[in-house]
């Protein structure tokens, strides 16, 4: 299996990266174009990963009149420097056969200040001993320009991946799929929604934090005016267009109260109106809303039942203004005051009711393996990109999420290893 991983490239300020000559001018110098000089290669050993690629680029403070050729060199002599700098006395050098960079170079073209991305490949990863952690120090040099010493070495660290390695912070952000023509999410009579969340706080002005769903239809959220602000709630609603009324119900319980700065797995199943809410694999709430209300019948004088036996997640995406229908969001509902003040990962939507045994299957909280992905998995957003504002959909349908702006990404290790 081959995957391509990208590191976040952020240009460093030229003035802080150039050294001053006696005449007051700045000497142009090369440097790795990155904010971190420890670059992790996390290997998914449970998937038999064999090859991974890291992309790097180099830059300089100001353009040159001629092309600048930059060479990469493996520096095994810097192992002890790495061990001391990163307090990793057990790290070993990655065998040369697993990372061959001989002849690798980057070119900064005349008039530019950075090079295109250069790929460094790591191979034979399925044969390594992951009771160990490996490192490859790589320096840059050029015959054209000097190199900024403190930005001249990149340490590539090869280690076993956790089941979850990156997460996105949703605070002040939101994300959505384009499901306008996706028939599979319309009028669902059975489904499961699940994700991992970790909240920073529960005391925002609106008293509501949104996880995902459709406002005033079917929404997983935390808090409300009449329940504790740290308590999960599934809010349901049916709009009676004939009578001009909206009928609402919810599923919640004090056993769904969360603590801040702690990861939880949340799963909600829907079966023609029967809602079950699981927290960390334990069934906490079971509520039947299939007959959500009774509506007075002016002709008969009787009460007619109002049923809530299906959910439509397929309204066209919009800003929901000027009467547009509510649509599916992650981290947003009604207004921006209700964003999720916390981190999220492993968000999924299935078109069937997962059993408690499936929910508690080993590693299920943290991963759906490729062999388990079929047509019933309507969306699978890992939130594992580590950069940018697009979240890939790993389901068969490929409806990626787009965020309002770049996420703040955090490296994590979930579950925590002993």
* 3 state SS for 91-144: CEECCHHHCCCCCCEEEECCCCCECCCEEEEECCHHHCCCCCCEEEEEEEECCC
Please check whether residues 244 and 346 belong to one and the same domain. Answer: yes
In CATH, what number is assigned to the domain containing residue 175?
2.60.120.200
Residue 354 is predicted with a pLDDT of 98
Please check whether residues 156 and 170 belong to one and the same domain. Answer: no
User: What average pLDDT does range 5-33 have in this prediction?
Assistant: 54
pLDDT at 29 over 70: yes
Which residue, 146, 161, 176, sits at the end of a domain?
A: 161
Please check whether residues 72 and 177 belong to one and the same domain. Answer: no
Please check whether residues 263 and 295 belong to one and the same domain. Answer: yes
Residue 241 is predicted with a pLDDT of 72
Domain holding 362, by residue range, is 166-414
Residue 321 is predicted with a pLDDT of 93
Please check whether residues 73 and 210 belong to one and the same domain. Answer: no
Residue 194 is predicted with a pLDDT of 98
Please check whether residues 9 and 132 belong to one and the same domain. Answer: yes
| C-alpha dihedral, 32 to 33 to 36 to 40, nearest 10° | -80
User: Whole-prediction pTM value?
Assistant: 0.84
Mean pLDDT score of the chain:
92
Residue 6 is predicted with a pLDDT of 33
Residue 77 is predicted with a pLDDT of 97
Among the ranges given (124-128, 141-145, 302-306, 341-345), the one the predictor scored with the smallest mean pLDDT: 302-306
User: What average pLDDT does range 177-192 have in this prediction?
Assistant: 97
Which residue, 113, 143, 161, sits at the end of a domain?
A: 161
pLDDT range class, residue 252, cuts 50, 70, 90? very high
Contact call for residues 324 and 318 (beta carbons, < 8 A) = yes
Please check whether residues 393 and 375 belong to one and the same domain. Answer: yes
Please check whether residues 127 and 216 belong to one and the same domain. Answer: no
Name residues whose C-beta falls within 8 Å of residue 56's C-beta, 6 or more positions apart in sequence.
7, 32, 33, 34, 39, 117, 118, 120, 154
- What phi, psi does 361 have (nearest 5°)? -60, 140
Please check whether residues 103 and 157 belong to one and the same domain. Answer: yes
pLDDT range class, residue 240, cuts 50, 70, 90? confident
| 297 vs 372, higher pLDDT | 372
Domain count along the chain = 2
User: What average pLDDT does range 36-59 have in this prediction?
Assistant: 94
pLDDT at 145 over 80: yes
User: What average pLDDT does range 303-332 have in this prediction?
Assistant: 95
250 has which bridge partners? Answer: 235
In CATH, what number is assigned to the domain containing residue 57?
2.60.40.1740
Residue 274 is predicted with a pLDDT of 98
User: What average pLDDT does range 3-19 have in this prediction?
Assistant: 37
Tokens 């005449």 belong to 23
pLDDT at 12 over 70: no
User: What average pLDDT does range 122-145 have in this prediction?
Assistant: 96
């Amino acid at each position: 299996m081959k995957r391509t991983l990208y590191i976040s490239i952020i240009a460093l300020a030229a003035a802080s990266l150039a050294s001053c000559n006696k005449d007051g001018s700045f000497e142009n110098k090369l440097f790795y174009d990155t904010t971190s000089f420890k670059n992790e290669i996390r290997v998914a050993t449970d998937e038999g990963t064999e090859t991974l690629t890291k992309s790097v680029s180099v830059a300089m403070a100001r353009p040159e009149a001629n092309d600048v050729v930059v060479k990469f060199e493996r520096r095994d002599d810097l192992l002890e420097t790495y061990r001391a700098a990163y307090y990793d006395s057990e790290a070993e050098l990655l065998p040369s056969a697993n990372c061959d960079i001989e002849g690798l170079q980057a070119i900064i073209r005349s008039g530019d200040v950075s090079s295109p991305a250069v790929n460094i490949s790591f191979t034979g990863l399925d044969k390594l001993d992951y009771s160990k952690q490996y490192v490859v120090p790589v320096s840059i040099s050029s015959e054209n320009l000097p190199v900024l010493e403190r930005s001249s070495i990149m340490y590539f660290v090869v280690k076993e991946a956790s089941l979850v390695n990156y997460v996105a912070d949703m605070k002040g952000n939101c994300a959505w799929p384009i499901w306008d023509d996706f028939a599979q999410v319309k009028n669902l009579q059975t489904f499961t929604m699940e994700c991992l969340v970790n909240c920073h706080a529960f005391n925002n002005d609106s008293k509501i934090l949104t996880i995902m769903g459709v406002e005033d239809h079917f929404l997983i959220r935390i808090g409300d005016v009449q329940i504790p602000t740290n308590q999960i709630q599934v809010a349901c609603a049916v709009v009676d267009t004939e009578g001009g009324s909206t009928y609402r119900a919810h599923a919640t319980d004090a056993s769904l109260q969360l603590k801040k700065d702690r990861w939880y797995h949340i799963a909600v199943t829907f079966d023609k109106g029967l809602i079950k809410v699981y927290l960390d694999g334990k069934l906490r709430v079971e509520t039947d809303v299939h007959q959500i209300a009774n509506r007075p019948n002016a002709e008969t004088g009787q009460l007619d039942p109002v049923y809530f036996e299906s959910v439509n997640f397929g309204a066209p995406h919009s800003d929901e203004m000027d009467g547009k229908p509510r649509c599916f969001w992650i981290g947003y509902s009604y207004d921006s005051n209700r964003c999720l003040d916390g981190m999220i990962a492993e968000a999924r939507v299935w078109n069937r009711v997962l059993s408690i045994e499936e929910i508690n299957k080993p590693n299920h909280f943290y991963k759906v393996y490729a062999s388990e992905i079929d047509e019933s998995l309507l969306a699978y957003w890992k939130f594992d990109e580590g950069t940018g504002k697009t979240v890939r959909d790993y389901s068969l349908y490929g409806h990626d999420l787009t965020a309002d702006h770049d996420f703040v990404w955090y490296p994590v290790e979930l579950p925590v290893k002993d």
